[in-house]
Amino acid sequence: MAVFPPPQRLLLGPGPSDVHPRVLAAMAQPLVGHLDPAFIALMEETKGLLRRVFQTENTLTLPISGTGSAGLEACVVNLVEPGDEVVIGVNGVFGTRLVDVATRAGATVVKAGAPWGEIVPDDVLAAAIARARRPKVVVLVHAETSTGVWQPLDEASRLAHAAGALFVVDCVTSLGGCPVEVDRLRIDAAYSGTQKCLSCPPGLSPITFGERAVAALRARTHPVQSWYLDLGMIERYWGEERVYHHTAPISMNYALYEALCLVLEEGLDARFRRHRLNHEALVAGLEALGLEMAVAAPHRLWMLNSVRIPEAVDDVAVRRRLLETEGIEIGGGLGPLKGRTWRIGLMGESSTRAKVLRLLAALERTLPRHGMAVAEGAGVAAGERVYAQADGR
């Protein structure tokens, strides 16, 4: 049988992101057993690297075997028991998904809603918390991948803890691309995914549980709804006991270890500055082409850029031409934003000067073919000015 020949793509959609050659090479290394002493040593090092990236001292920090959605579900089903009240910020796909998962776990859900493309305001969250009799968990999506919204967390953390609730954060798209600061923000539990700003293939979901979350896990009176995602058992495999729970995806753990090494070699602050600069250059270029951003400037993600599609432009036709002619993937809108926005990911290895300028040049060639006049060279020139200013030229 022939080996599948994947086409060469520049991945600038909502995920996965481009992967460093060192990460791909790590996945090609020989397998060892999931209880081999060498693999156990790798597990320990990976936990330490994850703590540094999450900016936490939490002991219970590890990668769940599954994508970011597995991390989402693991946090919910391990902290929520039937009848618990859970307050969830809902302003996009992943807040909506959290409601679904919490409801299936038997929770009584109180929604703190906001329009898609906007943050959940602190007063709306406070009102939702007040409507709950005794909320056990408050959950917010830090980086809403479906809309490009960056949710503030400082006041939300204070509100959750003032109500005696655990504060849980979805940082699937933010981890490794902007500050998450688990300990400073007093986040009790958080989860992410490997395929976004960590620039690792999809397949693992880093999670971290603080002392209050671990205490809630220990105090459960009902079994965790999911056997596979029961952290009480997974912790024994990843902890000192090394009790068999499941066969960990060996190659994916190799890849995550290498990806985390790359993150820390670059340095978190430098990595955050890179993501911000490339976002600013992209925005300048898009605006020079006559396109508008879909999220207000104070709350735009650096890693996931949501762009309004002009009424005269065919969403699908533009994305198809970018993919088939330019070799560039960008994402379409979801839910009520379908056909109204493009989602451009600048995550991890996909967030570079060369890739931003390549996309802007491709849009200059593509948009005129699909109903939008643009000034030739305007987008690239605007992006270059941002880089020149950053370079001090």
State whether 303 and 384 are in the same domain: yes
Strand partners, 190: 169, 208
Range of the domain at 191: 20-265
Q: Per residue in 7-49, pLDDT tens?
A: 999 999 999 999 999 999 999 999 999 999 999 999 999 999 9
Query: In this predicted structure, what is the pLDDT of residue 3?
Result: 84
Looking at the domain assignment, is residue 361 inside a domain?
yes
Q: Confirm whether 312 is domain-assigned.
A: yes
| Same domain as 330, residue 249 | no
Q: Does residue 6 sit within a domain?
A: no
Q: Is 48 part of a structural domain of the chain?
A: yes
Q: Which of 240, 265, 290 is the last residue of a domain?
A: 265
Q: Which residues of the chain have pLDDT under 50?
A: none
pLDDT in tens, 314-356: 999 999 999 999 999 999 999 999 999 999 999 999 999 999 9
- Is 1 among the domain residues? no
CATH code at position 128: 3.40.640.10
- Residue 1, pLDDT score: 64
Assess whether 241 and 317 both reside in one domain: no
Q: How far apart are CA 276 and CA 283, in angstroms?
A: 11
Residue whose token pair is 């992209």: 282
**Residue 7 forms part of a structural domain:** no
For residue 273, being part of any structural domain is answered with yes
Residues 171, 211 within the same domain: yes
Q: What is the C-alpha separation between 208 and 73, in angstroms, rounded?
A: 13
Query: Which of residues 222, 237, 265 is at a domain's end?
Result: 265
Check residue 371 and give its pLDDT: 87
> In this predicted structure, what is the pLDDT of residue 80?
98
Distant-in-sequence, close-in-space partners of 203: CB < 8 Å, separation ≥ 6: 65, 66, 67, 194, 195, 249, 252
Mark whether 235 and 326 lie in a shared domain.
Answer: no
DSSP state of 322: I
Domain count along the chain: 2
Yes or no: say if 308 and 291 are a contact pair by the CB < 8 Å rule.
yes
- The burial of 20, by beta-carbon neighbours within 10 Å (0-12 exposed, 13-18 middle, 19 or more buried), is given as middle
Q: Which residue has the tokens 């109204």?
A: 340
Where a domain ends, among 265, 290, 310?
Answer: 265
Q: Is there a domain that residue 2 lies in?
A: no
Note whether 259 and 350 are same-domain residues: no
Q: For residue 264, give the amino acid letter.
A: L
Of 237, 260, 222, the C-alpha closest to 60 is: 237
